[in-house]
Amino acid sequence: MIEKLNAERRCSKSFRVGILFCEENESHNGVALDIFERLKVPSLHGGLYSPALISSRFDERDFRLNMLNIMNNKYDLLVSIGDYFTTLTIGIYKELGVVVPTVFAAVTDPVALGFVKSLEHPEGYTSGIIFEPEPALAYARNIALLYSPGASILVPYGPDSALGLLEKRARELSGALQLVGLVPILAPINSLEEALFVLKENVHAIDGVAFVESGCATIIISAIVKASWLEKKPVIAANSVDGLFLGAAASYGRSHRDIAESVVGMIYNTLDCRVPLANQPVIVLPSNRFFIVNEAVLQQMGDVSDLVMRLRQEGVDVVRLWPMPPEVLEI
């Protein structure tokens, strides 16, 4: 049966899949590349796809030029990574009155953002993959293991990110940090200049920094991480592999593999099995509790082995990372 199916596929056309991602976002780069490689590797349904990586700057004008390219190239399906790009994509579909079946990934709340009608019944032409939100209190408890009671934690966020959803999560985290005995300092940040100013004003008064997911643009995350390195203030990046690769002390994260595997499965269902995205529920991946620790930074806080043991006692998987230099990204 499988041999017959493969023979039929070899005679069929190769589906064109565009993978749209922000070139300035290291995390989105990783997800996009993982999806691309999975579509290219021969497998049961390998060889049926012609994937294309489509990178765009975090800029609406540049994005619109890329979307015109996408429309002209007539892709069979588009993968859109992140809240901002998916919002722009759907907005352009409405402007032009033309749509491409779109699978989204790495978005916060697709219902609140208007991408789908509901998680169970998306309707329309989009569906995708999200992670089960990690409760703010669970994240705060893990942060508390890294600091002394009463430590001051800067919580930066982009106030306009994801239609205000990340501000809401930042405020939830702030409340949770208070409950576990830490002192949060909420910092709305709209630009690189503002990030540097906030750090200059607060860096001597804070003990660390905690990001809420990818609540700021990568260039802002990198600026905060680098400045914090220089002052020996550890940064914790929640669900933000960006922060980790830019030199954060630790990332409370999830795996790109889980996202890519689920995205490719949804592409297969849509193009091979001809199941409309409207009939494919949004996939909610379970929250994986793990810290990836950058020992070069955490050694400044004391015994790394003791810290790892305490995290594991709390049921948190810990991956120990090679040292990451603060000069990883020049500002």
Cα–Cα distance measured from residue 88 to residue 67, given in angstroms and rounded to the nearest whole number = 9
Handedness of CA 54, 58, 60, 65 (dihedral sign): negative
Instruction: Classify residue 270: in a domain, yes or no.
Output: yes
| pLDDT attached to residue 80 | 95
Instruction: Classify residue 249: in a domain, yes or no.
Output: no
What is the residue type of 211? F
- At which residue do the structure tokens 């909420």 appear? 186
What is the residue type of 20? L
Instruction: Classify residue 198: in a domain, yes or no.
Output: yes
Same domain, 278 and 295: no
Cα–Cα distance measured from residue 228 to residue 287, given in angstroms and rounded to the nearest whole number = 28
Cα–Cα distance measured from residue 108 to residue 105, given in angstroms and rounded to the nearest whole number = 9
Q: Which of 102, 82, 79, 81 is nearest to 90 (CA)?
A: 102
Compute, in degrees rounded to 10, the torsion defined by CA atoms 56, 62, 65, 67: 50
Same domain, 293 and 174: yes
Structure tokens at 86: 């998916």
Same domain, 227 and 322: yes
Instruction: Classify residue 76: in a domain, yes or no.
Output: yes
Domain span at residue 75? Answer: 2-132+255-285
Same domain, 173 and 322: yes
Instruction: Classify residue 201: in a domain, yes or no.
Output: yes
| pLDDT attached to residue 311 | 66
Same domain, 194 and 107: no
Q: Got the DSSP string for 241-297? A: HHHHHTT-SEEE---HHHHHHHHHHHHHHHHTS---GGGSPPEEEPPP-EEEEEHHH
Same domain, 234 and 105: no
| pLDDT attached to residue 43 | 57
Same domain, 193 and 317: yes
Instruction: Classify residue 248: in a domain, yes or no.
Output: no
| pLDDT attached to residue 252 | 54
Structure tokens at 3: 């041999």
What is the residue type of 89? T
Same domain, 116 and 40: yes
At residue 27, φ and ψ (nearest 5 deg) are: -65, -45
Same domain, 141 and 112: no
| pLDDT attached to residue 48 | 82
| pLDDT attached to residue 140 | 82
| pLDDT attached to residue 10 | 44
Instruction: Classify residue 244: in a domain, yes or no.
Output: no
C-beta atoms surrounding 219 within 10 Å: 18
Handedness of CA 326, 327, 329, 331 (dihedral sign): positive
Contact criterion met (CB below 8 Å) for 250 and 146 = yes
Residues 6+ apart with CB under 8 A from 164: none
Q: Model-level pTM?
A: 0.67
Can you give the pLDDT of all 331 residues of the chain as single tens digits? 434 444 444 445 689 999 998 876 666 787 899 999 889 876 555 558 889 999 888 778 888 888 888 888 889 999 999 888 898 899 999 998 889 999 999 887 888 888 999 999 999 999 999 877 667 787 787 778 777 889 888 888 876 655 567 788 888 889 999 999 999 988 888 777 887 788 778 777 888 778 776 556 566 666 776 666 666 666 665 544 444 445 555 555 556 677 888 999 999 999 988 999 999 999 988 765 555 555 555 555 555 566 667 666 766 666 554 444 433 333 3
| pLDDT attached to residue 12 | 53
- Give 182-209 pLDDT, tens digit per residue: 999 888 887 778 877 887 787 778 887 7
Same domain, 103 and 176: no
Number of domains in the chain: 2
- Give 35-88 pLDDT, tens digit per residue: 998 898 765 555 588 899 998 887 788 888 888 888 888 899 999 998 888 988
Same domain, 180 and 309: yes
Same domain, 53 and 80: yes
Contact criterion met (CB below 8 Å) for 249 and 235 = yes
Q: Got the DSSP string for 22-83? A: ETT-HHHHHHHHHHHHHHHS-STTTTSEEEEEEEE-S-HHHHHHHHHHHHHHT-SEEEEESH
What is the residue type of 250? A
Cα–Cα distance measured from residue 120 to residue 61, given in angstroms and rounded to the nearest whole number = 34
The CATH number that applies at residue 177 is 3.40.50.2300
| pLDDT attached to residue 271 | 92
